[in-house]
Amino acid sequence: MPGSPRRPGAVTVIVTVLRDPRVERTLGSLRRQTRPPDRILVDDGGGPGPIREIARRLAAEDPRIVYLDAPGSIPESRNRALREVDTEFVAFLDADEVAPPEWLAKLLAPMTDPTVGFTGGPTPAMEGTARTIGARYYDAYLRRFYETVARHHPHALPMGNSAWRTEVFDRVGLLDTTLYESAASEDQEIALRALRAGYQGRYVAEAWVAHDFSDLSLYRWLSKQSRYALGGYVVWRRHGSTYEASPGGLLPYVAPPALIVLGALLLPWPILRTPGEILLVVGALLGLGVLLGLGLQGMAWERSYPGMRYRPVEFLRRWATLLGAARGFLRYGRGGYDRPASPPDRLGGSP
């Protein structure tokens, strides 16, 4: 509870869930941890479904499991759960993830350093669940992302496989609920605040969890990327920090379609038809060149990151990202706000 004494060395695991019965499998994996959680909060985002019954049935077997009715957006629901935490540490897991027995011990290990405020690990696809092109490429993309980006930029670590000192939320506040409600990027935003308050973030490669991708189609993945990009745009405008791409890195994905569109616009005008046809051809050739380059790059990376043979899908991912950022600009403007911002609440009320 806010302001109450914290149990030293103890850890609460918050399992975020929204109408997903796979949470039973997640809770089962938490009950098998070599470093057992001291408390497990089933953070139910609301809506009809079996979550309450699953949690109460398992709680009858294991009193550490506590059901929490916390309707709202992801940050609103997690904030409700954070207010119930009375332990020194808090970890987060999602309902479509399964943690191996050593997960929590490895995730907490860097906390022996008092300067470490949060840790996080990778979320590779659960074996046999990456069944579509989108899921297979996303799994490969994530594996490379964690090793090459999140390892060096801890604010890129997702909250759904992370551990935190609860005092971080006392000092910097709870999750920001003024971000885009459908994606939020609240994990990136709170990590930036923690880093700027002087805490360190650590990537723990060994603290992986298996992520169930069985419901992830190409369309759903691209839609998710677009939503994440909208939230990421808001965080970028408010904090000046991003890890997605530089303007130069986006040019190969933007220039070919732009030339094609411009060429098509010139075609109806007889005097401009020839330049239009040239632009169409140049744009098409450049686009094919980019796709070929992505394909060759993916084949080179396939051995290290299986699924990278679908690397040309990156073209679609970049455009989904650009679409999300454009929607963010239209909704939130250059400053990243569509309403006055207020500092997020703190757990203990400390300045």
Shared-domain flag, residues 115 and 64: yes
206 in Cβ contact with 104 (< 8 Å):
no
Shared-domain flag, residues 172 and 311: no
Q: Is residue 60 part of a domain?
A: yes
Shared-domain flag, residues 32 and 92: yes
User: What pLDDT is recorded for position 12?
Assistant: 98
69 in Cβ contact with 106 (< 8 Å):
no
User: What pLDDT is recorded for position 214?
Assistant: 95
Residue 66 phi/psi, 5° resolution? -130, 125
Shared-domain flag, residues 12 and 117: yes
343 in Cβ contact with 195 (< 8 Å):
no
User: What pLDDT is recorded for position 348?
Assistant: 55
Shared-domain flag, residues 88 and 195: yes
Tokens 């080179």 found at: 300
Spell out the residues 6+ positions from residue 284 whose beta carbon is closer than 8 angstroms to its own.
Answer: 256, 260
User: What pLDDT is recorded for position 243?
Assistant: 65
Domain that holds residue 177: 7-123+158-213
Q: Is residue 240 part of a domain?
A: no
- Residue 333 zone, left/alpha/beta (φ > 0; ψ -120 to 50; rest): left
**Structure tokens belonging to residue 224:** 């998710």
Q: Is residue 328 part of a domain?
A: no
User: What pLDDT is recorded for position 1?
Assistant: 45
Q: Taking each helix axis as running N to C, give the angle between helix 273-301 and helix 314-332, from 0 to 180 degrees, rounded to the nearest 10.
A: 110
Shared-domain flag, residues 197 and 276: no
Instruction: Give the DSSP letter string of 218-284.
Output: HHHHHHHHHHHHHHHHHHHHHHS---S--HHHHHHHHHHHHHHHHHHHHTTSGGGHHHHHHHHHHHH
Shared-domain flag, residues 166 and 23: yes
Shared-domain flag, residues 89 and 16: yes
Q: From the first residue on, what is the mean pLDDT of each consecutive set of 10 residues in the chain (351 residues)?
A: 72 95 97 98 88 95 96 92 96 97 98 97 96 96 95 93 97 88 82 96 98 94 90 87 69 92 94 94 96 97 97 95 91 78 55 34
Task: State how far Cα 28 lies from the chain centre.
Answer: 23
Shared-domain flag, residues 271 and 164: no
Q: Helix or strand or coil: residue 107?
A: helix
Shared-domain flag, residues 301 and 166: no
User: What pLDDT is recorded for position 332?
Assistant: 87
Q: For 167-172, which contacts have Cβ atoms below 8 Å and span 24 or more sequence positions?
A: 167/6, 167/88, 168/117, 168/118, 168/194, 168/197, 168/199, 169/82, 169/346, 169/347, 170/346, 170/347, 170/348, 170/350, 171/197, 171/346, 171/350, 172/197, 172/344, 172/346
How many domains are contained in the chain?
A: 2
Q: Indicate the pTM of the whole model.
A: 0.90
